[in-house]
Chain A
């Protein structure tokens, strides 16, 4: 075990995966010699050469299409989109191409080797274009896996699993935790299974569900709730597509209550999908309506970022309201 931040853990995962798989290549804007604007790919070009870790021209649609081509030819591309806010020029290549490569060809071709890494989320004074959480655009697309880690240990294990998963994966990295989240990370090569949620704290009164950077927010809210005598069960969904219905449903059947938190706007957000499925699975066990604590239905505002965010106080209030229903 070593103490490290999330960037270091991601860098280590990339290095381990590149060592183990000589077909793996890492590329994107500024990822080469410079090591990426957040330095997640630091040292990889020196270690593995310019053919395997390199800058691309500034074109997200090009990066994604190029990654599709590499993956269709049996390579293992790990492409960085510099900010998730800039993934949209690549939307066509991801949604219409990566996600349908296998299905449309009757599995003659697939791009299972590919992984997109992209920093997402707010809390860094980034305004509209350095703060968004666009995961729900991709969870609505069959044919992709969507993964979001909460801390360095999870980031390393989930990224190694994502790179080796035989399906295209979008790996959303919570950039406000890149340096802020520091923790023990196992040494060497290990994977955390995709599609499995993680019950990070057991409790009996209410289930509180989140992913990525919002995990530390809901954990703070639950500390406040526990002081009021409310026993919280906290779940990190980790993989949003395909998501672990069984673990969430089992928990809600026990607690009878569910609060879901995400940074993206409420309307059309992934919490709506979870709520619909859980009321179907757990209807007779529910003691109160499923509650969502999310971003507002506005573009991400710079100056009112604090007010916009689904913070621990809003989550704490939602937990109390759900208990008191």
Chain B
């Protein structure tokens, strides 16, 4: 559309548009009681897919509960839960092909689990042991897996957004029949990288799904202090992008929206923006205490909208789940997580030699000299460096 044809209507008196000018409905499929809305169009889902989605929900709940506990006991240094956002994360990932690339923010470990990251792999990363794919270099929950097409997490916010556009453009040029999904929060959408990434994706026609978890808070900052417009979805339209707002606590709505977004992105080599309205039930991280900025009443209200409970009711209504099996699965995962913790925390940390690997493709002469000097120093004071002294 050239500038000459942008407006198909001419007016002759001043008239401003405002945020109410844009009508953005929210997609809901599943009701609180686990039944679907009349006339709701369901996603493509069979019993196997439903079981895998629910299994990932249960695992994630158990993992979050146990590992937050482990952090409180001082066994790991840091943790982040995704409690309350499981439908947004798992429902969207479940709509994808395994070859689709995921660039996440940091609260999407449920997506990685859905892809097949093992309990042991989660533990190895959190305990920074010698089996951690990231070689112990990053804080807990900064997972990544080339095999599962899940980019390694970077703490700085929104940096993954323009990267996702680049990945997707590469997929297009290579002729792959895959898309990229990029997760971020409504806070990260305030960063300049958000604008850069979405605008470039639209202009350059990249098959990328931008998935915003609008969970109400960026650490302590509520959405009222984050943006004044009509959420994040209104911006997608501004970038000329297919856009939808969904109930992020509605597994079936998220799944349906993402399935169609994927098909559209692939067929049209074009981006899609999904804004999932949800709520961060837990603290921002194990370093945060939400009692300083929000009420227990507010949290309790959102507990009523628990996305996992809602999906579970649907499964029970369908006859695809029963309480006894559900209790058993919870128990099994609790035991599995606890056992994996006990193994992972006993494994040694990566060898000191790893410290200079991967800075560049090969360590420079300067780095080799720094490592040699460091080893000599540690040999002189082995007690001061217990993690590495015994294994130089």
Contact = CB atoms under 8 A, between A and B. Distances in A.
Interface stretch (B23-31, B245-253, B329-337, B377-385): B377-385
Secondary structure at the A interface, as helix, strand, loop or mixed, is: loop
B262 interface: no
B136 A58 contact: no
B139 A125 contact: yes
A304 B136 CA distance: 8
A59 B187 CA distance: 9
B78 A125 contact: yes
A299 interface: yes
Interface in A274-313: 296-299, 301-304, 306-308, 311, 313
Nearest to B287: A37
Interface stretch (A25-33, A143-151, A197-205, A244-252): A25-33
B136 to A, nearest CB: 3
Interface residues of A, number: 42
B293 interface: yes
Contacts of A314: 377
B374 interface: yes
A317 B384 CA distance: 14
A106 interface: no
Contacts of A308: 355
Nearest to B228: A57
Interface stretch (B11-19, B151-159, B319-327): B151-159
Interface residues of B, number: 50
Given A58-B187, A314-B377, A304 B355 contact: yes
B155 A130 contact: yes
B226 A303 contact: no
Nearest to A301: B137
Contacts of A88: 156
B312 interface: no
A299 B155 contact: no
A4 interface: no
A306 B374 CA distance: 11
Interface string A307-325: 1100101100100000000
B220 A57 contact: no
A33 B188 CA distance: 20
Given A34-B292, A126-B139, A128-B138, A57 B190 contact: yes
A130 B78 CA distance: 12
Contacts of A35: 292
Nearest to A88: B156
Interface in B341-390: 349-350, 352, 354-356, 359, 364, 366-367, 370-371, 374, 377-378, 380-381, 384-385, 387-388
Interface in B210-259: 218-221, 225-227
A123 interface: no
A304 B355 CA distance: 7
Nearest to A90: B192
A267 B370 CA distance: 11
A306 B385 CA distance: 7
B149 interface: no
A141 interface: no
A66 interface: no
Interface of B: 77-78, 128, 136-139, 142, 154-157, 187-188, 190-193, 218-221, 225-227, 287-288, 292-293, 349-350, 352, 354-356, 359, 364, 366-367, 370-371, 374, 377-378, 380-381, 384-385, 387-388
Given A86-B157, A297-B366, A307-B388, 12 more contacts: A29-B218, A32-B225, A37-B287, A58-B187, A58-B191, A85-B155, A126-B139, A128-B137, A299-B137, A302-B139, A306-B385, A313-B377
Closest 7 pairs between A and B when the two form their complex, measured CB to CB? A303-B136, A129-B155, A34-B220, A57-B190, A127-B139, A58-B187, A303-B128
Interface of A: 29-30, 32-35, 37, 54-55, 57-62, 85-86, 88-89, 125-130, 266-267, 296-299, 301-304, 306-308, 311, 313-314, 317
26 contacts: A29-B219, A30-B219, A32-B225, A34-B219, A34-B221, A37-B219, A37-B287, A58-B218, A59-B190, A62-B190, A62-B192, A85-B156, A125-B77, A125-B78, A129-B154, A129-B156, A130-B139, A297-B359, A301-B137, A304-B349, A304-B354, A307-B374, A307-B387, A307-B388, A311-B384, A313-B381
